[in-house]
Amino acid sequence: MNEQLLNVVVRKREIQGDGVAVLDLAHSDGAELPAFEAGAHVDIHIAPGLVRQYSLCSDPADARVYRLGVLKDPASRGGSIGVHDLLLEGRQVQISAPRNLFPLTPDASRSILLGGGIGITPMIAMAHTLHQQGADFELHYCGRSRERSAFMDELRNAPFAAKVFTHFDDEAVEQRLDLARVLGPGTRGCHMYTCGPSGFMDWVMAGARQQGYAEDHIHKEYFQVEVDASGEGFEVVAARSNKTVQVAEGQTILDALAQVGIKIEISCEQGVCGTCLCDVLEGEPDHRDVYLTDEEKAANDQMLVCCSRAKSKKLVLDI
């Protein structure tokens, strides 16, 4: 994936809640950054070979700054720890232009935003946009405790503060999220958006389906998923490289290709970012990513090799 990178500087940095680095990125000369829409993310080139995706949580109407929040994860594979250790105020860093895989539905009559923990970040940008549109929406922020949660002051003072509702595990029972009440019955035009830990999102999406929400009214963005490499082995032919490799049970296509000297550009390695997207020339992929849409998966003409496998005995890839 070749793209032009943006050179930005960490204009402001503060630690909020329980280990969340909130960064403001800007051009060093104050020039405006490329416009972005609510739900967008950027790739941050933290260090050589270390690229990670983070949602933008600033107001899309303000092109002077990109704000993002990064939770320091003790199980980090290098990304969040690198952000916390390296991206200090004044540090220059390269980022991609914003990309949006989690957009708002333009014709929604009502929008319900449900963020769990650090999954609140894209929801803040969405709330800014919906408020400016005069749209009907609510923003619900769920977390373990108020003291451990980032963005509390920002949300308290936001122009849409009256639309923000918080739910914390260690506070009174009556303020905890009553999912069925908040969602209400699924009606045409009412869209639900969720981001957060996988367990939280699965619970929210299951609740939406129980309330009668149609699948195309349920919108999600994962920031971390478990890679499932189980299943029988299969053959992969790298057409342009003129190499063939056997992918063993429990092995990823990415690892198998590396063993025969084929390097694929990667980033998240979890089927989230789309960096390792490859064209499929022959065979049927077993899609296990959360990047491609259902329609794109059904076409079977592209796949993510970091996590997906094969339903057919052989895959021919354009690599």
Tell me if residue 40 falls in helix, strand or coil.
Answer: strand
Assign residue 187 the CATH number of its domain: 3.40.50.80
Vertex 117: Cα angle to 22 and 80 (nearest 5) = 50
Residues 21, 81, single domain; the answer is: yes
Assign residue 94 the CATH number of its domain: 2.40.30.10
Residues 133, 96, single domain; the answer is: no
- Please check whether residue 228 lies inside any domain of the structure: no
Domain boundary among 221, 251, 282: 221
- Please check whether residue 145 lies inside any domain of the structure: yes
Region at 183 (left for phi over 0; alpha for psi -120 to 50; beta for the rest): alpha
Q: Which two tokens stand for residue 151?
A: 């963005």
The reported pLDDT for the residue numbered 275 is 82
Q: pLDDT for 220-269, tens place per residue?
A: 998 766 667 788 999 999 999 999 999 999 899 999 999 999 988 877 77
Residues 35, 134, single domain; the answer is: no
- Please check whether residue 115 lies inside any domain of the structure: yes
Residues 185, 129, single domain; the answer is: yes
pTM attached to this predicted model: 0.81
Phi, psi torsion values for 121, nearest 5 degrees: -55, -55
Q: pLDDT for 186-206, tens place per residue?
A: 999 999 999 999 899 999 999
Phi, psi torsion values for 122, nearest 5 degrees: -65, -25
Q: In a 10 Å sphere around its CB, with 0-12 CB exposed, 13-18 middle and 19+ buried, how is residue 232 labelled? A: exposed
- Please check whether residue 277 lies inside any domain of the structure: yes
Domain boundary among 221, 245, 270: 221
Q: If pLDDT is split at 50, 70 and 90, which confidence band does 76 have?
A: low
- Please check whether residue 226 lies inside any domain of the structure: no
Q: Which two tokens stand for residue 62?
A: 């303000």
Residues 143, 177, single domain; the answer is: yes
Tell me if residue 258 falls in helix, strand or coil.
Answer: helix
Enclosing domain of residue 284: 234-317
Strand order in the sheet with 137-143: 164-168, 137-143, 110-116, 190-195, 218-221
**CA atoms within a 13 Å half-sphere pointing along the CA-CB vector of 255:** 11
Domain boundary among 221, 245, 272: 221
282 has a pLDDT exceeding 60:
yes
Q: In a 10 Å sphere around its CB, with 0-12 CB exposed, 13-18 middle and 19+ buried, how is residue 185 labelled? A: exposed
- Please check whether residue 296 lies inside any domain of the structure: yes
Q: Are the C-beta atoms of 37 and 84 separated by less than 8 Å? A: no
- Please check whether residue 82 lies inside any domain of the structure: yes
50 has a pLDDT exceeding 90:
no
The reported pLDDT for the residue numbered 101 is 86
Residues 159, 190, single domain; the answer is: yes
The reported pLDDT for the residue numbered 294 is 83
If one counts the domains in the chain, the total is: 3
Strands 190-195 vs 110-116: parallel, antiparallel or unpaired = parallel
- Please check whether residue 10 lies inside any domain of the structure: yes
Residues 129, 197, single domain; the answer is: yes
Residues 133, 213, single domain; the answer is: yes
Give the residue from 239, 237, 172 showing the smallest Cα distance to 247: 237
Range list of β-strands (E), the chain: 6-16, 20-26, 40-47, 50-55, 66-71, 92-95, 99-100, 110-116, 137-143, 164-168, 190-195, 218-221, 234-238, 243-247, 277-282, 285-286, 302-304, 309-310, 314-317
Q: Which residues pair with 244 in a beta bridge?
A: 237
Q: pLDDT for 230-240, tens place per residue?
A: 889 999 999 99
